[in-house]
Structure 1
Amino acid sequence: MKPAPIRTIDKVNNWFRNVNLNSTNPPPTPEGPNFLVPVRIWPGPSASPVDESAAMLRTIRVPAKATLNTLIALLTVDPSTGVGVSWGVWFCRPGTTVKLSNFTTIAELGYEPVPSLRGPYLECFRKMTPPSGSFSTLFDVEVCIVGELN
Structure 2
Amino acid sequence: MNQLNIIIPDRLIGQRIDSAMAQLLPDYSRSKITSWVRSGGALINGKSFKPKEKVLGGEIVALSIKAEKTNEWKAEDIPIEVVYEDDDIIVINKPVGLVTHPGAGNWTGTLANALLHYDPSLATLDRAGIVHRLDKNT
TM-score by length of structure 1 reads: 0.33
Which one scores higher on RCO, CA 8 angstroms, separation ≥ 6?
1
Which protein shows a greater Rg? 1
Q: TM-score, normalised by structure 2?
A: 0.35
